[in-house]
Amino acid sequence: MDIVIEGNLFIDGEIKKGCVGIDEGRIVSIKKILEGESHFDFGEKLIFPAGLDVHVHFREPGQTEKEDFFTGTRAAAMGGITFVMDMPNNKPPAMDSDALERKIKTVKNKACIDFALYGGIGEDSDIPAMAQKCKAFKMYLSGDNEMFVPIGKMEYVLQKVKESGRILAVHAESPDCIKRNEARNLSEHERNRPVRCEIEEIKKIMEINRGVGTKIHICHVSSSRSIDVLKGSGASMGVTPHHIFFSTSSKFRYEAMGKVNPPLRHEEERMKLFGAVRHGFDGVIESDHAPHLLEEKEDFPAAPSGMPGVDSSLPLMMEEVKRGHIDLSMVHRWMCRNPARTFGINKGEIEKGRDADLIVIDFKERKIEPYSKCGWSSYEGWSGIYPTHVFLRGEMIVENGEFTGSKGMGDMIL
């Protein structure tokens, strides 16, 4: 076989000393002893499936001063992520077949990890045509942008998405609940968009979908109460690291570094959310990587919402494992198995037939480092556990903490 990777393998919730055999980018054998043309022996280090991040905003086309597809995918690789799903919030937004085709031509030769694209949905979107060029769809119920569908047309849109065989990712905040008042700090921003806005809209979309049965993914759930509403609904859900680690009480260099939508919640709500995630959460951890220039964050009222995170999500979670707050099986479920299963990606497990996307972990701490083009992180000063090596379909793209991949290595997955 082409490649053999040896070490402490994370398989079926257990760590087993052994070898992974790889041919043509896929895992073909898992045994205690294997021989191959190339053999990488990582000793007692952990060999773990690479992470998948199903919610990123790489800003290309239209805002490449903040991030482009190469810098975004490289940042992901440095954090142990080998597959991303990029949102359609571009300039212009990827809301029709032509816009998606232009975006594909722009980014496909820049990606250094595998990727898929979302198509944005408005009330007049040609969903069947777009479904040929995107892996999933995205809709904002909040009315924050043009990717919005009035309630009267929601059932029709859900039916069209169901017929396409795609999944619909939803930003669930009620536009009638959100106050559009100027906010001068995190507490005021949260007051404008309280938890009930999220809960109301989750209930509404799930009620409409009850008679349709479209596959729905609720993005960036920010409250334990929202998790309770979604349990047993059939919908998948995502939670971001920033909603479980930060609150309105958190301190940042500029307060607007913590300005996101849905907002950071009060400390008590944050603790309840993290508790719910640690106890029975069966969704995904998604970064909602949304980079802006640091100077845009200096003035809170004018600052755009969003923070970078694709490069820090997995290191932060591995740090929580080291501290004993969560275990490896949780990280695997949230960042490998569940996103792969939810969106139909052949990654996320060390098993025969899967893509050989693997990371090597030695559990040595270092400070969180911003790899995004925007050049900053809200987690500055925090510690994380970064992979020493990263393999994309058996090919090493990070070696001893240094990026060794190249543009165009990543494949688009439909």
41 flagged as catalytic? no
Q: Given the structure tokens 């969003």, which residue do they identify?
A: 306
At 129, list the tokens: 């045509």
What are the distances in angstroms from CA 404 to CA 113, 118, 388? 12, 28, 12
CB atoms within 10 A of CB 14: 9
Q: Is 232 exposed, middle or buried (0-12, 13-18, 19+ CB in 10 A)?
A: exposed
Residues 371, 359, 61, 236, CA torsion sign: negative
What are the distances in angstroms from CA 157 to CA 119, 182, 228, 350? 13, 33, 26, 37
Is the CB of residue 316 less than 8 Å from the CB of residue 310? no
Is the CB of residue 141 less than 8 Å from the CB of residue 148? yes
3-state SS class at 29: strand
Backbone angles phi, psi at 299, to 5 degrees: -110, 110
Is the CB of residue 82 less than 8 Å from the CB of residue 390? yes
Is the CB of residue 172 less than 8 Å from the CB of residue 203? no
Provide the angle, in degrees to the nearest 10, between the axes of the packed helices 195-209 and 151-164. Answer: 60
Instruction: From the candidates 53, 68, 288, 357, give the one annotated as an active-site residue.
Output: 288
Q: Which is nearest to 264 in space by CA: 298, 209, 223?
A: 223
Alpha helices in 36-79 (DSSP H): 69-78
3-state SS class at 294: helix
Rounded Cα distance between 288 and 192, Å, is: 20
Question: Residue 188 contacts by C-beta under 8 Å, 6 or more apart in sequence?
Answer: 181
At 347, list the tokens: 């990654």
At 84, list the tokens: 């991303």
First-last CA distance in the chain: 28
Catalytic residues, by residue number, are: 288
